[in-house]
Structure 1
Amino acid sequence: MPIAIRVRDERFRDIAQLQDVEDTLPGEPRVLLESHLPLGRADRYPLLAHIDPVGDTCFNRGQTVVLMSELRRWADETGNADVRAICGALTVLVATHMRRPHTYLWLLGD
């Protein structure tokens, strides 16, 4: 099952979603799947490894510096073109829509 990705405010109102930035990237639209995640690799990806593919995971604005670093490393280390595209889209989404206080990145599992 795909994991929905949204940026929301403190009242849980959607500000943006992954599809809003997909047209800035080359290739087909991508979705984040459980098989794409570096689960079990908390030594290398302390935030990404703890995304819950069947529940909801939330990252706050303060965590985005570490998250962006992990996304760059994950994109560099994977051989999967879909993962690289998703990392690029997530980076654009976070950089564009999480500059203001009280914004959160939500990954909504099944």
Structure 2
Amino acid sequence: MGISYKVQEYGGTVVASGERYLTATMVEALDPVVYPMLGHICPYDDTMFNSWQVHTLIKELHHIPDSHPLDPTIREDLRALCDAVLAKPHRQLWFIGD
């Protein structure tokens, strides 16, 4: 398996879930200085981004080269969930580590 991701409201209701999985290799290949949001996802624990952090995450997703292990289909999946976070207040993007 890998790192799943979902959009959750403050009360715990899951609004949307990712269709794919990240791997530790994908996350560890991201320099946290260049990609401060993606580079700080913990592959072995849960990581949560609030709506402010999601704005930065969207910018990062647009700057990852196509040759990177974080392939374009996963990036598109993540962008869709970022949009879901920003669609309503009190939503968060969660990464559920192994």
Task: Give TM-score scaled by structure 1 length.
Answer: 0.79
Classify 1:88/1:40 alpha carbon distance in 2 versus 1 (closer, same or farther; 3 Å). closer
Q: Does 1:66 align with 2:66?
A: no
Residue in 1 that maps onto 2:37: 47
Task: Please give the alpha-carbon distance, in whole angstroms, between the structure 1 residues aligned to 2:34 and 2:70.
Answer: 20
Point out where structure 1 has 5 or more consecutive residues left out of the alignment.
20-29
Give 1:39 shift: 4.9
Runs of 4+ in 1 over 2 A off after TM superposition: none
Q: CA deviation at 1:78?
A: 3.9
- What is the deviation of 1:65? 1.3
The one-letter code sitting in structure 2 at the alignment partner of 1:37 is V
Residue-pair matches, total: 97
1:101 aligns with 2:89: yes
Is the CA contact (8 Å cut-off) linking 2:26 and 2:69 kept in structure 1?
A: no
Using the aligned pairs only, state the percent identity: 30
CA RMSD between the two structures = 1.8
Tell me the TM-score normalized by structure 2. Answer: 0.88
User: How far apart, CA to CA, are the structure 2 residues paired with 1:82 and 1:57?
Assistant: 17
Unaligned runs of 5+ in 2: none
- Residue 71 of structure 2 aligns to a residue in which SS? helix
